[in-house]
Structure formats: C-alpha cells, structure tokens
Structure 1
Amino acid sequence: MTVADSYRVARHNAGVLFGAQAVVGAGQPIVMSMGGLAGAYLLGADKSLATAPITAFTLGTAFFAIPAAMLMRRAGRRAGFIAGAGVTALGGLVATLALFQNLFWVFALGLLIIGCGSSFLQQYRFAAADGAPSDFRPKAISWVMLGGIVAAVLGPQVVIYTRDLFEPVLFAGSFASIIGLAAVGAAILSFLKPAELKIAEGQGGAAPARPLGEILRQRRLVTAVVCGVSSFSLMNFVMVGAPLAMIGCGFSPDEAALGISWHMVAMYGPSFFTGHLITRFGKDLMVAVGLFLIMGAGAVALSGIELWQFWLSLVLLGVGWNFGFIGATAMLADCYRPSEKNKVEGVHDFVLFLVVSIGSLLSGTVYNTFGWETLNWIVFPIAGFSLLVLALNRTRAQPARRGA
C-alpha cells in the first residue's frame, strides 16, 4: 500500500471514528448526568450510595480495558468496536430494566456493563493512529476527540427528550436511549477499514512483538503514561468537585451545570486545531502547555469564589486536558509497534481509568473534608511532577540524538 493510500485510509477511518465517538460517546454524559440522580431515586431515604453506579461505570471502563484490547487483537478493530457497542447496548438494557423493577444494585450492574463498553470507546483514539503516517497521527487523534463535542451536546439533549418517556418510571427513557445510540454507532463502525500501513513506510511494521516488560521500560513511554494519566485524572478530580463547590458557594444547580457545559466544550473544542499545533510545535511542548494550563486553572480557582472564577477555571482545565491528553496519546503511539498495540493500549487504559476512578472517589471526600482550596492545591505537585518527568525525558533524549 502506498503512502498516498495510507493517508486516504487514515482520513476515512478518522471520519468513521469521529461519527462513532459522537454517537456512542453520547452515552457517557447520559450516565454522568443521570446516574447519580437515578441512584438516589432508587435508594429512597438513604442516598449515601447514590453515586455508586457512576463509580461502577468508571471501574467497568478500567477493568475491561485489557480484555477489550485482547479481543481486538484477535478479532480486529472493526469487529471489536462493534462488539463494544453491543456491550454498551446490553448495559443500557440492564439499567433500564432495573429502573422498571426498582433494583438499585442491578442498576449499578447495568452501568458497570456500560463502562465495560466504554473501554472499547476509549480506544477509538488509538485506532485513528493505526497505520496513519506519522505526521497525520496527531490530527487523526484530534478528529476522533472532536467527536466528543457532538457527544457532549447530543447526550444532554437526549436526556431532555427521553427522561420522562416512561413516566412514572423516571430516567428509564434516558438509559433506554443508550441502546439506540449504540446500535447507530455499530452501524457507523461497520465502515471502518483495516489499517496496518507502517510496513509501507518502512517503520518496522512487520517486526515481532517485544515482551511487555521491555516495552514498558521505555523512558518515553513512561513519560507519555505519566503525563496522560495526570492530565486526565487532575481534570476529572477538579471537575467532579466543582459543581459541589459552586452549589456550596450559593450558586444554583443551573449555573453549576452551565459551568460544566463550558468545561466540556473547552475539553473538545480545541481538537479543531490541536493536531495541527502538535505537528508544528511537537508533542512535548503541547503536553507541557496543557499541564501549565491545568495549573493555571488551579490558580484561578484559588483566586476567589465568584461565578466567573469557577467558570474560567473550568474552561482552562478543559483546554489543558485537551492539549495534555492528546499530546500524551500521540507520544504513546510512537512507542510501540503495530504487533504490540493491543496489549500496550489495554495496559495504558487500565492504569488510566483505575487512577481516574480513585480520583473521582477522592474528589468528593477531599472537598467535604478539606474544602475547595485544598482540592485545587493538590493540582500543583502532581502537574509539577509530570512536568519534571517530561523535562528529564527531553534532556536525556537530546544527547542521544546528538550522538546519533
């Protein structure tokens, strides 16, 4: 396959994955916005475990990451992603039936299954880089992440129109809609093309897979994982606590929700140009800019508790996540061969979403125990450590390049 063919297939697949991200990914804001409310609805008087279904969703994403990667290694990306959409649909069905039967823990199981389906969704960004020429990979990843904007808009709109669809059984319509979204996503994913094109570029695509331990010992891969995990977990850690803090400061739930909406637009909106910026300025610089923006978000949050300060902090947090996470993902994609992609991506996403799950659980605890200021102070040492790892990797890589 020629280089021209590789660009054509890469653009096609990025477009397909953009569409699938927009549709299947719309299930995530449905879960995040309705999971806690539906949990509280099912629990009755004691609502202390209301957010347990959302935690189950995140844990499902973490613990199914490696099995999802292994399935795709055997069956291929297209079959694996279609199967993932099927898992998401199954979770939507279980959650809907649990709401009709008023079964809280079965509802949590449904969200756990949706989370398992989400582990396939998280690998769309890696699939966009499969076989793509090296200069197009950051753009391809950005295209897929751009689908998150559509998902962020589509999901809440679906909630508005379906929430009371099966009244008096509240929320059942919203979770039933996940079944339809997954079905449409599976249809879109059927157009995905195989893309193993690194052989054509002479990049060692035919080389056998190395042992996992050898791959994970690469300094640049460790740097990519540290920066990607810290960008994602810090974003989620602050985002989860922000609505609690806004309401605690006297702002309305609608104002808090609008702040989260602006945050999600900031998360995915820069994807229009993030790929171009990475191609022009390099992955390391964009990751560093992302981490500094996340620290800037913490600084704005610490400067006061006016509404504009909450909102500006959330916008900076979203843009910082976009630059840091997409840059780190592109960096990671340079560290493994096509024959190694599934096991590396599976381990990466397991670590990523396990840390994100822990951060989600700790966010509310830190806020309730120590307050909004302490929650934001935590950002600085973690982001600072990631910047140090990034700088050390770059410093050690320069003498090697000069020696070569």
Structure 2
Amino acid sequence: MTQPKTQPKTQPTPHPTPSVDPLTPTGLDGDRLARRNAVLLALAQSIGGATASIIIATGPLVGTMMLHGSKSLATLPVSAMVLGTAIGTLPAGAISRRLGRRVGFMGAAVLSACGGLLAAFAIFQSLFWLFALACMFSGFAAAFVQQYRFAAADTASEGFRPKAISWVMAGGVLAGVVGPQTVIWSKDLFSPILFAGTYVAQAGLALIALALVSALRIPRPAAVVAGATGRPLAQIMAQPRFIVAAACGITSYALMSLVMTATPLAMIGCGLTETDAALGIQWHVLAMFGPSFFTGNLITRFGKERIVAIGLALLAACSMVALAGVELAHFWTALILLGLGWNFGFIGATAMLTDAYRPEERNMVQAVNDFLVFGVVASASFLSGQLLEHFGWTTVNVIVFPFVALSLGLLGWLVFQGRKGQLS
C-alpha cells in the first residue's frame, strides 16, 4: 500500500527586523508621543533653564562681593557654569546612549539640586572658589538640559521635528520669568547674607524638574539597540552642513554669552541697581525663548539658513544699540535684541545639525556639537569680565561684528554650494 507523500514542513518566513523602534515616529499617529514628550520637556526646560538665568543674574554680583569689588574674576562663576556644561556634554551623550534620556535627565536634576545647596553654603561661608565649583556642578547638570531640544526631536516625525525643538525652547519663556523673579523674591531671604536664599530656591526648582522628566517616554532607536555604530565621527564632522551648523551655533551662543555676562556688571557700573540688572536679564531670557512659539513655523516656511542669518543680524543690531548709550533703555533694548538673535541663530543652527546625522549617530554628534559650543561659550563668558575690566563696555560690543560677518560668510558659502549642486 503506497503511503501518501508528506509535504515537507516549510519554515515560517522570519519577520525582518524592523528598521525603527515601535515607538519611532512615522507621522501616522499624529506625533502623539512626540507632542507629549515635547510638552513635558518644555515644562522641564522652564524650570531647569531657570538655573542658568539665576547664575547669570547673580553670579557676577556674588563674585564682586566676595572679591571686594574686583570685576576681573567676578564673571568666573558664570564661566564655571558654562565650563561645567562643556565638560558635561560628552558624558550626557554617552549616558543618554547607554541608559536612555530619562535616566540621564533625572540624575542631572538631582545634581543641580546639590549644586544649588552647595552654592548657598559657599555664600554663607564667603568661599568664592567653592561657589564657582558649585556653579560648575549646576553647569554640568545643564548639559543634560541642553539635550532636551534633541530629546524632543527623537520621537518626532520629520515634519514635526522643527516644531518639537521650538516647543522645548519655548519653555524658556517661563524660565525667563521664574529665574529672575526667584532672584528678586529670594535674594534677601537670609538677610544680611545676600543671594544665599536664591540658591536654596534653585535647589527646589531642580526637584520640580526631576518630577517632570521622570514621566518621559523616549525609546532608544532600534539601530542603537541592534548595535549599529554609524559613520566615523571625523566623516560626519567633515560634512559642510555640520561645519556651518556648528559654526553658526557656536557664534550665536558665544557672542550672546560674551555680551550677556558683562551686562549686569556694566549696568551696576553705570549707576543702575541689582533689580534693574535682574529685570534686564528677565527681558533678555524672555526674548531668547519667547519667539520659540513660532520659530519652528518660520524655519519650515523660510528655511533654516535664512532664520540663522536673521539671528546673526540681530546680534549685530544688539551691539549697535549698546554702543549708542548707557541708559537703562539702551541696556534693556540691547538685551532683548541679543535674546532674539540667539533664538533665531541657535535654534536654526540646531535644526540644521539634525540634517547631518543618522538616528544611530545622534547621541554622539549632539554631544560633540554641544561640547564645541559650550567649550567656546565658557571662554567667551570668562573673557567677558576681563574685557570689561581692562578695555571697557565698548570693546565687548565691537568684538561681535567680525564674528557675525564670518558666520554669515560661511552660511552664504553653504547656500551657494547647495545651489551649485542642484544645477550640476
């Protein structure tokens, strides 16, 4: 009796490994996760970003008090904060890559709280170098805050990405109010020890930020989970788009820091008050982050390069106003223009940078970019006090013009290269 032929068992076709994480954006879900994360990050930015404005508004004044009126080192606490940010950029990228954004952001919030308490202790003890060290700790934590804008882009579709970045930066609007108002409300909290209460309050703000970032949901990209490493860093950095984006980001942030750090000391030197200086910084920070509600739309409509060029032009306009006089209106107008120029220049450059890397390369490239940016910004903030002390307020502002011209030249070269490539 013939046995029926048995059909060979066919192996099920293996499903291909998905190229993206299940939570990676496709745009089909209306960017729900991206919007949720962007809102949380915007709120955290409004609280975490207040630390920087607190140190900028009070650090030079605390330094002057501790150094008995000397201005040459008075900006060192701000420089230490920025240096801490520069030092923290590479660890921030590595921790985010290995442990995830959420863990890194939570740890940074705890460190920021510790930095605030240490700064308050240093003020009580009148220990200038310890105060500068505490500001460096807060700056290290701020390196993770700087990653908020990139984190917002992680779960966003290509169309929503510029808006997600600008939403997070818009959180700085509230930071522009929270920081200076915290200074005004708390500077006499432990009278006669000026500003000690401000840094205790800063620690409390960091704990609020901790609660916000703990609710984030940002998956690691599937390419990273699968072990993909991406292109060599040197190859990525050699791209014209990376070079110009990094250069414009560095210029926008460094020039803003140079002028902003010197401004409170210049205002006090011209007979204005600490409250005038704090309110000036408040208007400045509002101008830095306020346009972010529509900067993403402007980038989408007019292009990244045009927005960066407008930002650089506004930085030049700031120095023109500052050179026109030393009344309160001159200082405040210059600070507002300085903030607007930073917003368009830095957010536009950040959006340009996202075109220069692949998903598996993002943490590495973002960290290197921020390391370059804040390394130069730290030098600019330190030189700010030296320039003001030895050469005056005019020199601080004149230096802006050649760097703006150089960055505009690079931007024009990139646009020309792009058009040349399209025609060939």
- TM-score normalised by the chain length of structure 1: 0.90
Partners of 2:86 and 2:123 in 1: how far apart?
Answer: 25
- Give 2:5's aligned residue: none
- Post-superposition CA distance 1:179-219 (Å, at most 9, x none): 221111111101111256798xxxxx996411111111110
Partners of 1:219 and 1:92 in 2: how far apart?
Answer: 40
- Give 2:9's aligned residue: none
Percent identity between matched residues is 51
Partners of 1:310 and 1:178 in 2: how far apart?
Answer: 26
* AA matched with 2:169: M
2:148 aligned residue (101, 124, 144): 124
Partners of 1:24 and 1:94 in 2: how far apart?
Answer: 17
Partners of 1:298 and 1:43 in 2: how far apart?
Answer: 29
Q: In structure 2, the residue corresponding to 1:193 is in which secondary structure?
A: coil
Matched, 1:88 2:129: no
Matched, 1:158 2:182: yes
Partners of 1:278 and 1:206 in 2: how far apart?
Answer: 33
Q: Offset at 1:115? A: 1.1
Matched, 1:335 2:356: yes
Q: In structure 2, the residue corresponding to 1:133 is in which secondary structure?
A: coil
Within-5 A mapping of 1:355-374: 355-374=376-395
Partners of 1:77 and 1:253 in 2: how far apart?
Answer: 37
1:213–1:124 distance in 2 versus 1, CA, 3 Å? same
Matched, 1:133 2:154: no
Judge conservation of contact 1:132–1:197 (CA < 8 Å) in 2.
no
Judge conservation of contact 1:6–1:132 (CA < 8 Å) in 2.
no
2:48 aligned residue (15, 19, 24): 24
Partners of 1:134 and 1:115 in 2: how far apart?
Answer: 31
Q: Offset at 1:72? A: 0.9
- Give 1:65's aligned residue: 89
Q: Offset at 1:226? A: 0.5
Partners of 1:208 and 1:58 in 2: how far apart?
Answer: 30
Within-5 A mapping of 1:4-403: 4-5=28-29, 7-43=31-67, 49-167=73-191, 169-195=193-219, 208-403=229-424
Judge conservation of contact 2:75–2:384 (CA < 8 Å) in 1.
no
- Post-superposition CA distance 1:37-59 (Å, at most 9, x none): 33444456877644333322121
Q: In structure 2, the residue corresponding to 1:134 is in which secondary structure?
A: coil
Q: In structure 1, the residue corresponding to 2:31 is in which secondary structure?
A: helix
1:256–1:90 distance in 2 versus 1, CA, 3 Å? closer
Q: CA RMSD in A?
A: 2.5
Partners of 1:379 and 1:42 in 2: how far apart?
Answer: 30
Q: In structure 2, the residue corresponding to 1:64 is in which secondary structure?
A: helix
Q: In structure 2, the residue corresponding to 1:160 is in which secondary structure?
A: helix
1:47–1:399 distance in 2 versus 1, CA, 3 Å? closer
Partners of 2:55 and 2:327 in 1: how far apart?
Answer: 29
Structure 1 portions without partners, runs of 5+: 200-204
Judge conservation of contact 1:297–1:317 (CA < 8 Å) in 2.
yes
Partners of 2:336 and 2:71 in 1: how far apart?
Answer: 31
* AA matched with 1:213: A
Judge conservation of contact 2:388–2:396 (CA < 8 Å) in 1.
yes
Partners of 2:331 and 2:185 in 1: how far apart?
Answer: 29
1:141–1:36 distance in 2 versus 1, CA, 3 Å? same
Partners of 1:248 and 1:47 in 2: how far apart?
Answer: 10
Judge conservation of contact 2:79–2:379 (CA < 8 Å) in 1.
no
* AA matched with 1:347: V
Judge conservation of contact 2:246–2:353 (CA < 8 Å) in 1.
yes
- TM-score normalised by the chain length of structure 2: 0.86
Q: Offset at 1:306? A: 4.4
Q: Offset at 1:87? A: 1.4
Q: Offset at 1:102? A: 4.0
Partners of 1:182 and 1:294 in 2: how far apart?
Answer: 31
Q: Offset at 1:170? A: 4.0
* AA matched with 2:173: I
Q: Offset at 1:100? A: 4.0
383-392 vs 96-105, which deviates more?
Answer: 96-105
